[in-house]
Structure 1
Amino acid sequence: MLRIVDVRRALAVRGYPRDLSGRLVIAVTDPLLAHNTGRFAVEVTNGCAGIGKVGDEEPAGLTLGIASLASLYSGHTGVLRLQQTGLLHGEPASITLAARLFHNGYPWMTDRF
C-alpha cells in the first residue's frame, strides 16, 4: 500500500536507470490533494531526475490517476499492464520511455521475518 502525497518530490527522489536519459510529461489526477493534480515534466539524466510542473499547453505523454502512479512508482505494476487495463493512457514513444524509466524489477519480500 502506497499513497503519494507529493508527486514532485516523490518523482525527484526516486532512482532511475543511469544509462538512460529522457524527458516525459505526466498528467496526474488526484481528487484529494490538489497540488498533486497537473502536468509534471520529468527530465532524467544519469539516474537523477529534475521535476517541474508545466502548463496545459504542453501535451502530456502519459495520463494517469494518483493510484496508478503509486503502482508504477513502486514497480508493482508496469506501464504496459496499466495501459492494458485502461488505467494509463499515452502516446507510444512516451509509453516506451516510461517503461524503461520505471522498470526496476518487481517489489518483493521474504516470507520469513
Structure 2
Amino acid sequence: MTSLLKTTYMLSIVLSLSGCVLDSVRSHSSALEEIDNGNLHTLFINGKTTKRDVLTKLGPPINNQGDIATPLWLYHYRHEKKPLFLPKVGPLAGQDKTLSLRFDEKGVLVDAVLIDKAAN
C-alpha cells in the first residue's frame, strides 16, 4: 500500500507541475504559428505573391481595417506560456511574432519581414 501511495503522490506532483508549465495563452493570427525565418521566403515570394495569396494563407491583416488597398500589411501572433513555478525564459516564455508585408501598386509582394522573439 505504501508503494501505491508514493506513486499516486508523485504522479499528482508531476501532473501539477506540468499543468503549470503547459498553461498558455494564444492571441491574434494563429496562421503565423508555423511561419519562421527559415520558410518565410518560400511561402511569400517577392515579385510573385499577391495580396490575394496572402489573404488566402493568413486572412485579413490587423492594420488596414478592411482596406486591402494599403501597401503595408501587418500580422501579429503571440503564444505566451505562463509557468507558475518556473521563470519565463527561453522556450518557457513563448513566442511573439510580427510579420510585415509590403506590396507594390499592383498588389504584388515587394518585401516580407518576420520578427520572431521570445514573449515577455
Shared topology, TM-score over 0.5? no
Shorter-chain TM band: under 0.3
Q: Return the structure number with greater relative CO, CA threshold 8 A, min gap 6.
A: 2
